[in-house]
Amino acid sequence: MKRTLTTMLPPVLVLVALLTAWQIGVQVWNLPRYLLPSPWLILCSAWQEQSRLLAGMLQTAMAAVGGFGLAVFIGVVTGSLLGASQRLQKGFYPIALLLQMVPLVAIAPLLVIWLGYGLRSTMAAACIVAIFPVLASTLDGMRGTDPGLREIFAIHHAGRLARWWKLELPGSLPSIVTGCRVAAGLAVIGAVVGEFVSGYAGDQAPLGIVIVSSMREARTDLVFAAVGLSACVGFLLFGIVSGLGWLLLRRWHASAVQEN
Amino acid sequence: MPRGLGIRAKNACVCFGDVVALRHASLTILPGEFISIVGDSGGGKTTLLRAIGGLRALSSGSIEFHSASGANWIPGPRDIGFCFQEGRLLPWRSVLANVALPLELEGVASGERLDAARAMLERMRMGGVERRMPSQLSGGMRMRVAMARALVTRPRVLLLDEPFGSLDEVTRLALEDELLSLVRESGATAILVTHAIGEAVVLSDRVAVLRGRPGSLQPAIPISLPSRDDEGRLSVEFASLCAIVQHELRGSQESSV
Ligand SMILES: Nc1ncnc2c1ncn2[C@@H]1O[C@H](COP(=O)(O)OP(=O)(O)OP(=O)(O)O)[C@@H](O)[C@H]1O
Ligand SMILES: [Mg+2]
């Protein structure tokens, strides 16, 4: 308990100081609200628009979580397949690397064409940006499997699947968890960017759409509120993934085991 | 008739690239025999065990197995138990789950394999620590878990790579006795790599010296002791056999300098 307090306190203090400086700055220089609204104003507007914002947050969260889940599944499976076969790896990994360079904003219109407006497209967008770190970390983990431990499985004539499930996958978990933590943050970014292009307007509009439409109406305060909430989604997802990772590794891996 | 397999190695050579790790090793081991191998560090002892275990293909020569009745035998998943020099436990599995792994890979039912693993740990004097993780064990404890894992399938061929290296003297003597009785019970063929000459002499039917680096395998020295316990260790035969093995080893150092 004391530990969490001492780690939480400094960043919270810094945050409060920054917000106070922002609030004072806006009032002293009398900045127009469409240029830079004060934190307090943002909070008030957010409160007024809470139902719309929360609905948007839910949509964005669904896209991010769904896309992330899909990315973890696809990333671990393809990473494992590539890790199991040198030949596959030589053929496909460079392509995966190249695909990763394609900017998401450029693909988003294609997703709309294929999947239509709405959750399916935004989920796909989140998934696409989140896949690579999971795939790369899985592949890394698979390739790093201790050859000495492989011999244990060889002595007892273990099959491919048993070797993967009982050796390569658990051995790769620390690496996969790290990849997933990166992917969690990216998934939210992917979802919001996807929503810019393919989000569905209306009273269920996701945060990406709230941001774009508020911008058009010069409601900078709402833009800030929506950005803040999407950051919260990212933070939450990251926290959940880190927690799950810790649970998985706590009994054996140095990153999670605590001396006592 | 012993359950153990006979092993015939003929001119077995193993190279890692340019490095010759094992050079023309020839050795005939009878079913149920206990053989120790002593020799210089880097002489190829581990390499020889790995070649016998089928983990490393030979560059030339052959290694064949046969049953006590003389029929050729291709080792199955339960036939070989290998206790590696470094232990090699899976860090994400508890001690018990590590020992049960070979049976698990064989598809043995959960209750049965855990019972077998527990019993084997008990015999290795490791009863109280089943639920610990490998990282919470000392080096000697880890080796004992590795040994329990090598023994849990009741293998026909047992390959032990310096299993007693990091143990205190008392535990070591106790485990040597335990190992001997386990091997006798199961009728397994055992090959033990060790640096301790006394240990090799007291446990084995024959001791082979791997001389030089890369080692060349010397004809194995037959061991006959009045008994294989503390009394045996005090016998005149024990002392003279140790001296013979030591002589063979020292010869190896002179030839490699
Ligand atoms: N995987 C490998 N790749 C390259 N060279 C190897 C490999 N394994 C062993 N060697 C080489 O083969 C030789 C024999 O090694 P080995 O491990 O069999 O020796 P050892 O007799 O077991 O030594 P020790 O008593 O120190 O365990 C050494 O020169 C070593 O460098
Ligand atoms: Mg060795």
Q: Of residues A75 and B231, which shows the higher confidence score?
A: A75
> Predicted confidence band at A251 (pLDDT cuts at 50, 70, 90)?
confident
- Does residue A97 have a pLDDT over 60? yes
Interface mutation target, options B105, B108, B136, B147, chain A, most CBs of A under 10 Å? B105
> Predicted confidence band at B228 (pLDDT cuts at 50, 70, 90)?
confident
- Does residue A181 have a pLDDT over 80? yes
Residue A176 contacts B where some CB pair is shorter than 8 Å: no
- Does residue B252 have a pLDDT over 60? no
pLDDT tens readout for residues A219-245: 999 999 999 999 999 999 999 999 999
- Does residue B257 have a pLDDT over 50? no
pLDDT, residue B40, reads 86
pLDDT, residue A260, reads 43
Percent of chain A with pLDDT over 70: 98
DSSP structure string for B83-145: E-TT----TTS-HHHHHHHHHHHTT--HHHHHHHHHHHHHHTT-GGGTTS-GGGS-HHHHHHH
> Predicted confidence band at B55 (pLDDT cuts at 50, 70, 90)?
very high
3-state secondary structure of A10: helix
Contact B54 A156 (CB under 8 A): no
B44 in ligand 1 pocket by Cβ < 6 Å? Answer: yes
Residues A138, A75 contacting (CB under 8 angstroms): yes
pLDDT tens readout for residues B87-129: 899 999 999 999 999 999 999 999 999 999 999 999 988 888 9
**CATH code of the domain occupying B33-57+71-256:** 3.40.50.300
pLDDT tens readout for residues A64-78: 999 999 999 999 999
Interface mutation target, options A146, A152, A164, A250, chain B, most CBs of B under 10 Å? A152
Break chain B into its structural domains and give their ranges. Answer: 33-57+71-256
CB pairs under 8 A between A and B: 59
Compute the average pLDDT of residues B162-191.
Answer: 88
- Does residue B156 have a pLDDT over 90? yes
- Does residue B237 have a pLDDT over 50? yes
A65: part of which helix (H) or strand (E)? helix A50-84
Break chain A into its structural domains and give their ranges. Answer: 53-259
Compute the average pLDDT of residues A202-216.
Answer: 89
Take atom 2 of ligand 1 and give the residue whose Cα is closest: B16
pLDDT, residue B79, reads 92
Distance from CA of B173 to the nearest CA of A (A): 27
- Does residue B254 have a pLDDT over 70? no
pLDDT tens readout for residues A14-41: 999 999 999 999 999 988 888 899 999 9
A53-259 folds as MetI-like fold (1.10.3720)
pLDDT, residue B61, reads 92
- Does residue A100 have a pLDDT over 90? no
pLDDT tens readout for residues A140-152: 999 999 999 999 9
pLDDT, residue A198, reads 82
Q: Please tell me the distance from the alpha carbon of residue A142 to that of residue B252, in angstroms, as a whole number.
A: 42
Which residue do the tokens 């899985």 mark?
A138
**Which residues partner with B193 through β-bridges?**
B37, B161
Contact B153 A156 (CB under 8 A): yes
- Does residue B75 have a pLDDT over 60? yes
Compute the average pLDDT of residues B63-87.
Answer: 91
Cβ under 8 Å to A: B residues 81-100: 81-82, 84, 86, 88, 90-92
pTM over 0.90: no
- Does residue A259 have a pLDDT over 80? no
DSSP structure string for chain B: --SSPEEEEEEEEEEETTEEEEEEEEEEE-TT-EEEEEE-TTSSHHHHHHHHTTSS--SEEEEEEE-TTS-EE---TTTEEEE-TT----TTS-HHHHHHHHHHHTT--HHHHHHHHHHHHHHTT-GGGTTS-GGGS-HHHHHHHHHHHHHTT--SEEEEESTTTT--HHHHHHHHHHHHHHHHHHT-EEEEE-S-HHHHHHH-SEEEEEETTTTEEPPPEE---S-SSHHHHHSHHHHHHHHHHHHHHHHHHHHH-
